[in-house]
Amino acid sequence: MALEDIVIPQVGEAVDEVTLIEWLKTVGDSISEGDVLFEVDTEKAIVEIPAFADGTLAEIICGDNSLVMPLQVVGKLETARASSDSAGQDNPPADPVLDQRPSHPEDLATARSSLAPSGKTAASPRARQLARSMSVDITTITGSGRDGMITESDVQGVASSGTDGGEASREIRAAVARRTAISKSTVPHFYVEMDVDFSTVEERRKAMPPGNRAPTITAVIIDACAQALSLVPDVNVSFHDGELERRSTVAVGVSVASERGLINVTLPNLSGADISEISARLAEATARARAFQLRPDDLEPKSLVVSNLGMYGVDAFTAIIDVPDPMILAVGRVVPRPVVSDDVVVIRPMARLTLSVDHRAIDGEGAAIFLGHVRRILEGGIDV
């Protein structure tokens, strides 16, 4: 005898939560293989989940109307099979066919085969060939193609992840691919570059009272961008469906490299926020993005994104606009460089800022004025 887990199988294309609507059996009921145990709602369909073996319903862990995740254990089934713990004991299996099953019902294959008893797996020839070459068991994959057919990208996703983060990283990859392709092919980009002297920023950071964490370069630049957007409302716009739209609030995004891929998180409503508030909100938003626990307002449209690769030693780069934003600011590293000041060559901590601009929304003059304000604010020339 064995007490085996009853798990939520991967149902259709649902990747997130599904609702366990109702148990059709109660604890103590005798169960035959194939009996419907409970129903789940995948937002696309109500799916009946049958028992994977004969036995007795021993425990219900997640009751009716609970939100559950694929592969979550929602109950226990007392079965006649030998438990994996007692595999070495001379306790002959009741059924040699059952004995060949995986001993862990949480194995996705078992959960899926209970949904598709015919045993046929619909997969494209291309997907089958790839699965063979990568030694991936195609029966373990959920298809996303026509009529649920397994496609090449389904196989690639399983092969590249293997973990529960796989679906999410695949989706982020696909989203980044789609959005950058649209942006680069449909948004007429132009670029404005400026070298910025970070002496003032460095002095202010050093002057922070002990115990207070100095704001990061990214936070300081977001602060400067937010102030500059208030000063140059002509660039606080976006071009959408052939129309120029003005924004009433100031929102700046930041590119975050999460484990699962690139996410541009928005810091909305920055009017009036000071550097300490921006630092705190930036830290929280970055943490949420890294943990992949975003809130709806984290993904709101913004006037520009700050993308900082300076920490990797990058001097300068040009970034692709995150549609429908009008601009993105690429930030290089702050590094001591010789510059001419009052006809003398001096060493200053410099960084190059490269602004990518959607020419449909903003002209060169507006972009230059905006970036000039960002520079003057960073260099301490404007005390806002």
Partner 1 sequence: MDESRNLTIVQGLREALREEMLRDESVFVMGEDIGIGGSFLFTLGFLDEFGPERVMNTPISEVGFVGMGVGAAIEGMRPVIDFQYGDFLITAADQVIQQAAKLRYMSGGQVEVPLVFQLPTGASGRGAQHSNSLETVFFGVPGLEIVTPSSPYDAKGLFKSAVRSQNPVLFCVHKHLYGSRGRNLAHRDTSTGLVPDGEDYTIPFGVADIKRAGTDVTVVANLLMLHRSLKVASGLADEGISVEVIDPRTLVPFDLDSVIASVEKTGRLVLVDEGPRKGGWSAHVAAEVAEKGLMYLDAPIERVTSLDTPMPYAPGLEEAVVPSTDDIEAAIRRII
176 lies in the site for partner 1, by CB under 8 A: no
CB of 182 to partner 1, least distance (A): 5
Q: Which residues contact 314 (CB under 8 A, 6 or more apart)?
A: 332, 333
CA nearest 82: which of 69, 68, 95, 70?
95
146 lies in the site for partner 1, by CB under 8 A: yes
CB of 246 to partner 1, least distance (A): 23
Considering only 44, 104, 126, 213, the residue that binds partner 1 (CB under 8 A) is 126
Enter the tokens of residue 74: 């929602």
Distance of CA 346 to CAs 334, 336, 338, Å?
15, 10, 5
The nearer residue to partner 1, 152 or 379, going by C-beta atoms, is 152
How many secondary structure helices (H) and strands (E) does the chain include?
9, 17
Strand partners, 304: 252, 327
181 lies in the site for partner 1, by CB under 8 A: yes
Enter the tokens of residue 273: 């926020």
CB of 151 to partner 1, least distance (A): 5
Enter the tokens of residue 98: 């059952």
CA distance 226 to 217: 14
> What does the per-residue mask of binding to partner 1 show for 182-221, with x meaning CB under 8 A?
x--xx-----------------------------------
Of 96-104, 118-126, 265-273, 330-338: span binding partner 1 (CB under 8 A): 118-126
Considering only 44, 178, 184, 213, the residue that binds partner 1 (CB under 8 A) is 178
CA nearest 174: which of 154, 159, 191, 189?
154
Enter the tokens of residue 317: 């780069």
Length of the chain: 384
Of 48-56, 178-186, 231-239, 313-321: span binding partner 1 (CB under 8 A): 178-186
CA nearest 112: which of 7, 209, 15, 207?
7
Q: Which residues contact 260 (CB under 8 A, 6 or more apart)?
A: 165, 168, 169, 172, 292
CA distance 18 to 6: 15
CB of 230 to partner 1, least distance (A): 33
**How many Cβ atoms from other residues are within 10 Å of residue 141's Cβ?**
23
CB of 232 to partner 1, least distance (A): 30
165 lies in the site for partner 1, by CB under 8 A: no
CA nearest 303: which of 199, 228, 212?
228
Of 59-67, 124-132, 271-279, 354-362: span binding partner 1 (CB under 8 A): 124-132
Q: Which helix (H) or strand (E) holds 186?
A: helix 166-186
134 lies in the site for partner 1, by CB under 8 A: no
CA distance 366 to 361: 10
Q: Which amino acid is at 188?
A: P
Considering only 12, 39, 58, 145, the residue that binds partner 1 (CB under 8 A) is 145
CB of 109 to partner 1, least distance (A): 22
Total binding residues for partner 1 by CB under 8 A? Answer: 17
Enter the tokens of residue 303: 């006037």
129 lies in the site for partner 1, by CB under 8 A: yes
CA nearest 255: which of 210, 314, 190?
314
CB of 152 to partner 1, least distance (A): 5
CB of 218 to partner 1, least distance (A): 29
Of 64-72, 92-100, 173-181, 336-344: span binding partner 1 (CB under 8 A): 173-181
CB of 13 to partner 1, least distance (A): 14
Considering only 10, 114, 151, 354, the residue that binds partner 1 (CB under 8 A) is 151
Of 126-134, 305-313, 333-341, 354-362: span binding partner 1 (CB under 8 A): 126-134
Of 31-39, 105-113, 175-183, 194-202: span binding partner 1 (CB under 8 A): 175-183
Considering only 88, 92, 96, 125, the residue that binds partner 1 (CB under 8 A) is 125
Strand partners, 351: 196
Q: Where on the chain is the footprint of partner 1 (CB under 8 A)?
A: 124-127, 129, 145-146, 149, 151-153, 178-179, 181-182, 185-186
